[in-house]
Chain A
Amino acid sequence: MTATEYKAGSNLEKILREGKFAVTGECGPPKSTDVTVIEEKAKILTGYVDAVNITDNQTAVVRVCSMASAYTAQQNGLEAIMQMTCRDRNRLAMQADIMGASTLGIKNVLCLTGDHMSFGNHPEAKGVHDLDAINLIKMYKDMRDEKKFQCGEEMPLGPPLFIGCAENPFADPFELRALRLKKKIEAGADFIQTQCIFNVPKFKKWMEEVRALGLHKEIKILAGITPLKGVGGARYMQKFVPGIDVPQDIVDRMAACEKGAPSQAEGKKIAVEMIKEFAEIEGVAGVHIMAIEWEIAVPEIVEAAGLMPRPAVV
């Protein structure tokens, strides 16, 4: 495989293209200009994940922008997947930012609609939503492949991008979920990271639908994992986070453990079990580990799941 055949030539793209089981992580930029936060998180994850998602004002809370944080991660040796939401930018800004990111060496992008403003710390903000995530995927694909802006104007050099999207197998209407992934593939998505999975049977059912449509052959699917730190978090997600499906047996397992280290060990154990189970599912190309403000748990989980050392690709 020569470099020119890659869409972006990112580490993540190469690993997935070679059919190796990929591991991505997640880093939330800080709510201050303290650059060391990203540097520290990058140090923890480097070598244990193939690329790291840099969130974009996640949960609609203002943080250091994903482009600057993605650049910092890469300067510290960790490849970034820059998240881009439709909530905060119109099509001009989303095109300008992706070209800017590209000039800084960022090659992976995750196209998202974005959490609604009402969940965040600026609920009075005006939501942009000029495009939706599917429009955004298509726009970036056209910039990359057709060297065209959304308006149709041509550019001499487009951004080399490995384009990602998200999908939530646990949202309703369930019957639409695999078909919605198909729509994202048709728009131009190269990889997908799922919402964090706790309900494994339901995820398997979704994967059955995905395979029935042949989608696993057209897109690289990374299964989302969030290691639980304690029963409190599990219960909170079960009750209050829309679109996250935490079955009672997971809550019970966490509840059976003492707070602190035993609970954390159980959370990591569940994550490892899930990774091993997902690796056996036809069509799952990797895992996306979202250890929210618990990056330190990732190396141990990746190691215990038998995913070390991470493949080196040229």
Chain B
Amino acid sequence: MITAERKPLDEILELVGDKKKVLVAGCDTCVAICLTGGEKEAEILASELRILAEKDGRAIEVEHTAAIRQCEWEYLDMIAEKVEAADVVLSMACGIGIQSLAEKFAPQLVMPAVNTNMLGMPQEHAVWLERCVACGECRIGLTGGICPVVRCSKSLMNGPCGGSHDGLCEVTGPEKEEIECAWALIWERLKAQGREELMFTERPPKNWSKSSSGGPRKMVREEAKPV
């Protein structure tokens, strides 16, 4: 799923600026599951903005709403009235939802209230781990179902670098958390599968043109198009 984190309140206030009618628009799909931008979180942010405005003596009107999915046109129709009535919309959807909203109601002012951060897997309650970067050329069939592009800090394709120690990467995460060495995991998985030889086959340079390096991507399913 797509995960996101709410921006700091100061940054959100800066995005709102001197606008008087604010709509906080949540999305009830991915960002709701990761407890960041669903209807409940939109309501909380709206309350925070109202309390702050009252404290500072600013006249501001804050409403909240949520679309079932902000990334689909038909669900946006359902919140159209509120969006059009606002001076600024603070979207709590992922980057796709925010842009869909901005495109659908252009030139309405739509601001991001969250930072979309990854395609993550819920490892346990309230913990998400990055598992995919949508590189457009999946090779995890060769690596025991573990993606080295996203899980190796250097996106190595041919085995662990010299910084792998006790199953850990030499790099620590932004909060100084330990990161598992993807290649140590891959090696253990391949051994368990009896496919060790895959480790020693040279993998050629990756075709990054299928990733975002190739420019914005587009997918068309001709067979699914309306006749």
Contacts and interface: CB of A to CB of B under 8 A. Distances in A.
A242 to B, nearest CB: 4
A242 B184 CA distance: 15
A168 B155 CA distance: 18
Given A135-B158, A171-B164, A173-B187, A243 B204 contact: no
A167 B157 contact: no
B162 interface: yes
B203 to A, nearest CB: 8
Interface stretch (B38-46, B118-126, B138-146, B166-174): B166-174
Contacts of B170: 116, 119, 242-243
B199 interface: yes
A168 B161 CA distance: 8
A113 B171 contact: no
A239 to B, nearest CB: 12
B205 A91 contact: yes
A87 interface: yes
Interface in A122-142: 127, 129-135, 138-139
A183 B156 contact: no
Interface residues of A, number: 36
Contacts of B112: none
B99 interface: no
B154 A116 contact: yes
A132 B171 contact: no
A103 interface: no
Interface in A79-120: 86-87, 91, 113-116, 118-119
A113 B162 CA distance: 9
A156 to B, nearest CB: 23
A168 B170 CA distance: 13
B208 interface: yes
B165 A113 contact: no
A179 B164 contact: no
B158 A183 contact: yes
Given A139-B205, A176-B160, A243-B170, A171 B153 contact: no
Given A171-B165, A242-B165, A243-B165, A87 B154 contact: yes
A281 B170 CA distance: 30
Interface of B: 153-167, 170-172, 181, 184, 187, 199-200, 202-206, 208
Interface of A: 86-87, 91, 113-116, 118-119, 127, 129-135, 138-139, 150, 166-168, 171-173, 176, 179-180, 182-183, 186-187, 195, 242-243
- Please name the 9 residue pairs, one residue from A and one from B, whose CB atoms are nearest each other, closest first: A168-B162, A242-B170, A134-B158, A132-B156, A171-B162, A129-B155, A135-B205, A243-B162, A116-B171
